[in-house]
Amino acid sequence: MPEVGALRSATSAVADPGDFLALARGWSDGPLFYWEHPASGRALVAIGVAREIHAHGPDRFTTVATAVRRILATVQPIDEGRRGLRMVGGFAFSERRLAGSPAFPAARWVLPRLAWWREGGRTWLTRIWDDDDASSCDELLARRDRTAMLPSRDLHLHASPITTPERAEWRARVDGVRRLIADGAVRKVVLARARQLAAPDSRAPVDPAVVLRAARDARPACFSLWVRGRDAASLIAATPELLVRRRGATVTASALAGTAPRADDRALDRRLGAELLTCPKNAREHAIVVTAIRDALGALADDVVASAKPELLVLPEAQHLATVVTGRLRGPSDVLEVAGTLHPTPAVCGAPRAAARALIETQEPERGWYTGAVGWMDDAGDGELAVVLRSALVTGRTVTLRAGAGIVEGSDADAELAETEAKMTALMAPFVAGQSGDAGRAVRGAAVGAAGAAS
């Protein structure tokens, strides 16, 4: 959308609109941005487009950061308050321009017409309009279905089993990376795989809110995300990984690498977690990520420190090693500039970064926004971006899932395949025949066995 004309805004405290996911579902079409972190009580719903930025290439983070600052600076609040001014959007894993007009390009950021923000138990609504179109916000509000509620969990998807050729292809990819590691060309590469699920032809298109509701209820410590462009495609995620948060001069990032499966038996589940904390293979993988994040933040910040040792992040489908890294910015770098320094971390790419990324982009179909980042930035340069993991692209009756595993010295192809399967169950297990109940336990049991062999 061209940056023409003056923009006006108004921000005011409003009554609690209730569940923000239900609020987002009140608009059945058009651009939508939903972001929520239930454990902290923070949530954001943004509707409509006042301005829009697309970018690609190696400077896309800088390009977007510059454009966001410029656009926000042009907005003139009628109430003399700028706290509600935010732009929202995301980045793909790759910087490359995609063919055609993809719904999720290398970078897409939006200044919304309407944005609700909840924090600390209070909610604000910001309206943004062109100087000559003051009624645009009212028209968009009028389109909201105020009777919209969260749907039931009546969703059934079909998943085809992994074929023998698919297993063989995965093993070949893992073995290829292990040879590169042995030769000293790389230390780690995150390989990802995709699979598609389908709703029966007789059913309506998949409702992203159905999936997100179940995922959010089970994963309150994760970021719940729903991004919809101008077409019907939706990206949804319940991701555990923070790329970066900026609040004033303080920046925070998370290192999430090293995985163990869950087990239904509590004693076994605790043992798997304890073994993860002492597993040399997972320790190597985790240390690569922590070191890279510390080094990247060190280019922009002082007093960069990481927690003394990793902790366990326990999710329904897996357990991870997690370390928090913080620093204090030396200069005025905004959250998008810091994100550009960090992305892609070894947790989603590998190390050295350039060699790992080149291998990934040669071997894998375009990842889209999977392992990219989604978030927001405000007028002060503060903001928060989450890494897009445990995600799905929903298009009509088709759901495309992606999951990856970090290949390092000592990795086992069967264990890594089981890890990707476990991660794919994060969103869809309640809705796929054979992925819950006894079958779900069988999947986890296979992962337990493979992980034990790898460690």
Nearest to 195 by CA among 236, 171, 160, 143: 160
Marked catalytic residue, from 36, 52, 95, 188: 188
Distances (CA, A) of 352 to 185, 382, 398: 8, 29, 35
409 tagged catalytic: no
Does residue 278 sit in helix, strand or coil?
A: helix
Q: How far apart are CA 261 and CA 390, in angstroms?
A: 15
Collect all residues with Cβ–Cβ distance below 8 Å to 115 and sequence separation of at least 6. Answer: 44, 45, 46, 47, 84, 86, 88, 125, 126, 128
The residues with which 53 forms a beta bridge, in sequence order, are 109
Q: Count Cβ atoms within 10 A of the Cβ of residue 240 and give its class: 0-12 exposed, 13-18 middle, 19 or more buried.
A: buried
Q: Contact, 177 vs 404, CB < 8 A?
A: no
The residues with which 202 forms a beta bridge, in sequence order, are none
Distances (CA, A) of 156 to 64, 162, 211, 395: 39, 19, 11, 15
Collect all residues with Cβ–Cβ distance below 8 Å to 442 and sequence separation of at least 6. Answer: none
Collect all residues with Cβ–Cβ distance below 8 Å to 111 and sequence separation of at least 6. Answer: 7, 49, 50, 51, 52, 71, 72, 75, 87, 128
Collect all residues with Cβ–Cβ distance below 8 Å to 300 and sequence separation of at least 6. Answer: 251, 327, 329, 330, 331, 333, 337, 338, 341
Collect all residues with Cβ–Cβ distance below 8 Å to 77 and sequence separation of at least 6. Answer: 8, 9, 10, 11, 85
Q: Contact, 47 vs 142, CB < 8 A?
A: no
Give the burial string for 47-74 (b: 16+ CB within 10 Å, else e): bbbbbbbbbbeeebbebbbbbbbebbee
In the chain, the N- to C-terminal Cα span, in Å, equals 52
241 tagged catalytic: yes
Marked catalytic residue, from 95, 241, 384, 419: 241
Nearest to 359 by CA among 117, 191, 198: 191
- Tell me which residues are annotated as active site: 188, 241
